[in-house]
Amino acid sequence: MPAHNQYQYSEPKRPTNWPKIILITLGIIILIALAVFFITRNYVGKGTAAPLDDETREQIEGLFNNTYYCSSDVYNCGNFTTQSEAQAVFDACGPGDIHRLDADGNGEACEGLE
């Protein structure tokens, strides 16, 4: 009778349960995808302003294009840092002083600014 060597024979390998591995992997992927979806859904759009109406959009575009919004009273002397900025708006909006930048009517806007 041959001697039995305990290291000579290995235990038979268990068959790999591929369907179980695939299902667990898919479950993990789905959970990660759902987490990413809900996290990004809650943060996308945070801090953004509501859509602008046409009047506000015109005002903002005017400031960037060195043109001014002259359809209604939207500027006051507090909007400007210098008298020359206020004067530019006053001159660009033509006669009538729709923004009431020239309190005394002498043609000089926001005279209190330097």
Contact 110, 87 (CB under 8 A): yes
Contact 59, 74 (CB under 8 A): yes
Task: Report the chain's terminal Cα–Cα distance, integer Å.
Answer: 114
> What is d(CA 95, CA 91) in angstroms, rounded to the nearest whole number?
8
Write phi, then psi, for 99 (nearest 5 degrees). -90, -5
- Residues 89-105: tens digit of each pLDDT: 888 887 777 778 888 88
Q: Is the overall model pTM greater than 0.85, yes or no?
A: no
Confidence of residue 13 (pLDDT cuts 50, 70, 90): confident
- Residues 39-86: tens digit of each pLDDT: 877 665 555 556 667 776 666 665 555 667 777 777 888 888 888 888
Count Cβ atoms below 10 Å from residue 12 Cβ, excluding itself.
6
Residue ranges per structural domain of the chain: 17-46, 53-114
